[in-house]
């Protein structure tokens, strides 16, 4: 669903390095260390449970597609597609996003409706400017609703999902900018932009989140040969943003209301705002006429979520700035893969997880929070020598009872070293075997935090460990 989010995130890699001293296996890619994987899993947990809460199925597609499947879908960005070497057989390329494979999947299987999510890595031959942390391999988390439905109902749910995920990730306040391609095109038409220039002028407008209107106007007039008065008319529109009241106002706009496309788009946005109000998220939404989105395939409503209060540190480029989720409606893409050109309307969203990983890591780091990389509940330890067999017997009992347990791979480990291992790895409990305990048929259960020890009857040990470690793992 997403143009550049995953790729556009900044400085992530430096942070990774600096956190773990892990270097990627090559420029533009990286290994995930256990610590990074722990953060990644927590973020994915939040996202996936939301997707499932909204009744999504899940699919997966191969990492490579036929080259021809990808060609002609990404405009000038096509140069960033990774091709496989021709070693005989079909020509293959690594997927560039998850949206084109999804559309190919729908057409190939003649599916007319599905609500699915897909979380997987995509690949772009970006010149890895590591100072900006662009990856050549990065995750996308896509949720899409395909099918012919009553207007704006799936679109509203996509925005609800975005807000639920961004709220529960606790990465700071955010705002979701919303616009509609039909409004943009209608606006261009009434401002006097020639049809042939719609797309290129659209991409100029898309830059308004980074540069001033003057610079954008110069590009339109200077580079793209638009008449200055035309540009000014556009300027009057694209500098406006607001809530549903702005929609109402534009519906009364003498010129815009005469344009069929714009009228459709505005009518749908009005309906969308009604639904978003019922969903309790209207206050998060801003109708922003400067939002254009890069990708060509959008045909209706488009949206992009930005963070408002980046949790940045002094002297650092705030990681939070910029887009963390985006999406929109694309009703024409599936038809491109159907022999008969049958259309399947689609709307979806994509979460910019790579940037979110960095933000969450930065936060955990700022809080100096220790991230556990295992879930081990108890270490099976011994107080004296010659108790290896007993340790193996006990840990086997615990594993078979579903307890997460470890022991040191040493015949006669010192008790101190065993306790230290728990401190280092965050294991909360130690089950200590001693000769006396064996005689008494008990195990000494020690809490690493409080250091207090109690004798537990061996047959009660599993229940006691479960009782003491039952609290759920926190999500970030």
For the segment 363-382, give every residue that binds a second copy (CB under 8 A). 373-376
Span of 203-211, 309-317, 391-399, 468-476 interacting with a second copy by CB under 8 A: 391-399
Binding a second copy (rule: CB under 8 A), the pick from 7, 12, 24, 352 is 24
What is the nearest approach in angstroms of a second copy to the Cβ of residue 198?
Answer: 30
What is the nearest approach in angstroms of a second copy to the Cβ of residue 237?
Answer: 31
Terminal-residue alpha carbon distance, the chain = 26
Nearer to a second copy, 122 or 178 (CB): 122
- For position 10 contacting a second copy by CB under 8 A, the verdict is no
Binding a second copy (rule: CB under 8 A), the pick from 195, 400, 424, 452 is 400
Distance, CA of 160 to CA of 155 (rounded, Å): 9
Nearer to a second copy, 125 or 132 (CB): 125
Tell me if residue 120 falls in helix, strand or coil. Answer: strand
Positive or negative torsion for Cα 331, 334, 335, 340:
negative
Binding mask 257-296 for a second copy (x = CB under 8 A): ------------------x--xxx----------------
Binding a second copy (rule: CB under 8 A), the pick from 65, 97, 144, 304 is 65
445 in Cβ contact with 429 (< 8 Å) = yes
2 in Cβ contact with 327 (< 8 Å) = yes
342 in Cβ contact with 380 (< 8 Å) = no
- For position 105 contacting a second copy by CB under 8 A, the verdict is yes
Give burial (CB, 10 Å; 0-12/13-18/19+) of 126.
middle
Query: Binders of a second copy among 309-348, rule CB under 8 A?
Result: none
What is the nearest approach in angstroms of a second copy to the Cβ of residue 202?
Answer: 29
185 vs 134, 155, 188, 229, 420, CA distance in Å?
31, 20, 5, 17, 66
Nearer to a second copy, 154 or 265 (CB): 154
8 vs 19, 236, 272, 465, CA distance in Å?
21, 29, 28, 45
Binding mask 132-151 for a second copy (x = CB under 8 A): -----x-------x-x-xx-
159 in Cβ contact with 278 (< 8 Å) = no
In this structure, the number of other CB atoms found within 10 A of the CB of residue 7 comes to 23
What is the nearest approach in angstroms of a second copy to the Cβ of residue 316?
Answer: 25
Binding a second copy (rule: CB under 8 A), the pick from 71, 75, 84, 386 is 84
What is the nearest approach in angstroms of a second copy to the Cβ of residue 121?
Answer: 7
- For position 121 contacting a second copy by CB under 8 A, the verdict is yes
- For position 34 contacting a second copy by CB under 8 A, the verdict is yes
Instruction: For residue 41, give the H/E element and its range.
Output: helix 34-53
Distance, CA of 419 to CA of 414 (rounded, Å): 9
- For position 60 contacting a second copy by CB under 8 A, the verdict is yes
- For 334, which DSSP code? G
332 in Cβ contact with 299 (< 8 Å) = yes
Distance, CA of 457 to CA of 439 (rounded, Å): 12
Residues that constitute the known binding site: 97-99, 124, 140, 144, 293, 297-298
Query: Binders of a second copy among 430-459, rule CB under 8 A?
Result: none
Least Cα distance to 272 among 293, 287, 255 occurs for: 287
Nearer to a second copy, 148 or 258 (CB): 148
**Token output for 237:** 């529109």
Query: Binders of a second copy among 401-420, rule CB under 8 A?
Result: 402-406, 409-411
Binding a second copy (rule: CB under 8 A), the pick from 17, 37, 207, 244 is 37
The size of the interface with a second copy (CB under 8 A), counted in residues, is 84
Nearer to a second copy, 109 or 196 (CB): 109
Binding a second copy (rule: CB under 8 A), the pick from 74, 82, 298, 357 is 82
What is the nearest approach in angstroms of a second copy to the Cβ of residue 32?
Answer: 4
Nearer to a second copy, 117 or 298 (CB): 117
- For position 66 contacting a second copy by CB under 8 A, the verdict is yes
Residues that constitute the known binding site for L-histidine: 97-99, 124, 140, 144, 293, 297-298
12 in Cβ contact with 133 (< 8 Å) = yes
In this structure, the number of other CB atoms found within 10 A of the CB of residue 6 comes to 24
Give the length of the chain. 476
Nearer to a second copy, 157 or 304 (CB): 157
What is the nearest approach in angstroms of a second copy to the Cβ of residue 169?
Answer: 15
- For position 90 contacting a second copy by CB under 8 A, the verdict is yes
In this structure, the number of other CB atoms found within 10 A of the CB of residue 410 comes to 12
Query: Binders of a second copy among 153-192, rule CB under 8 A?
Result: 153-154, 156, 160, 164
Residue 361 phi/psi, 5-degree rounding, is -60, -45
119 in Cβ contact with 44 (< 8 Å) = yes
Nearer to a second copy, 109 or 252 (CB): 109
């Amino acid at each position: 669903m997403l143009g550049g989010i995953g790729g556009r995130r900044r400085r992530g890699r430096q942070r990774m390095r600096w956190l773990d001293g892990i270097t990627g296996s090559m420029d533009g890619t990286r290994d995930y260390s256990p610590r990074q994987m722990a953060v990644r899993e927590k973020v994915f947990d939040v996202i996936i449970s939301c997707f499932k809460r909204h009744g999504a199925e899940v699919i997966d597609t191969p990492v490579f597609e036929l080259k021809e499947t990808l060609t002609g879908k990404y405009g000038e960005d096509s140069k960033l597609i990774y091709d496989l070497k021709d070693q005989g057989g079909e020509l293959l390329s690594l997927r560039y996003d998850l949206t084109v494979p999804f559309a190919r999947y729908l057409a190939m299987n003649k599916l007319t409706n599905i609500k699915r999510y897909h979380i997987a890595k995509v690949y772009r031959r970006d010149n890895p400017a590591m100072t900006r942390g662009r990856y050549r391999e990065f995750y996308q988390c896509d949720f899409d609703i395909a099918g012919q439905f009553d207007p704006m109902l799936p679109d509203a749910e996509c925005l609800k999902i975005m807000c639920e995920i961004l709220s529960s990730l606790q990465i700071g306040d955010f705002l979701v900018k919303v616009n509609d391609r039909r409004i943009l095109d209608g606006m261009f038409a009434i401002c006097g932009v020639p049809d042939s220039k719609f797309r290129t002028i659209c991409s100029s407008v898309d830059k308004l989140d980074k540069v001033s209107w003057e610079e954008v106007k110069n590009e339109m007039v200077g580079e793209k040969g638009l008449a200055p008065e035309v540009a000014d008319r556009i300027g009057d529109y694209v500098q406006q943003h607001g809530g549903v009241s702005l929609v109402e106002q534009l519906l009364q706009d003498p010129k815009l209301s005469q344009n069929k496309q714009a009228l459709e788009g505005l009518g749908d946005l009005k309906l969308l705002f009604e639904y978003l109000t019922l969903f309790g998220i209207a206050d998060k939404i801003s109708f922003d006429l400067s939002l254009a989105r890069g990708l060509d395939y959008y045909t209706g409503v488009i949206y992009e979520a930005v963070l408002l209060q980046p949790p940045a540190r002094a002297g650092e480029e705030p990681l939070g700035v910029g887009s963390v989720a985006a999406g929109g409606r694309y009703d024409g893409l599936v038809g491109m893969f159907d022999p008969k050109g049958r259309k399947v309307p689609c709307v979806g969203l994509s979460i910019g997880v790579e940037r979110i990983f960095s933000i969450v890591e930065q936060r955990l780091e700022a809080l100096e929070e220790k991230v556990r990389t295992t879930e081990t509940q108890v270490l099976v330890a011994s107080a004296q020598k010659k108790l290896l067999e007993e340790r193996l017997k006990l840990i086997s009992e615990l594993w078979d009872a579903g307890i997460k347990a470890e022991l040191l791979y040493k015949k006669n480990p010192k008790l101190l070293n065993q306790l230290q291992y728990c401190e280092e790895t965050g294991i909360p409990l130690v089950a200590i075997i001693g000769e006396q305990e064996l005689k008494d048929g008990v195990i000494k259960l020690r809490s690493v935090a409080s250091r207090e020890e109690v004798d537990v009857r061996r047959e009660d040990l599993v229940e006691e460990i479960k009782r003491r470690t039952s609290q759920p793992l926190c999500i970030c």
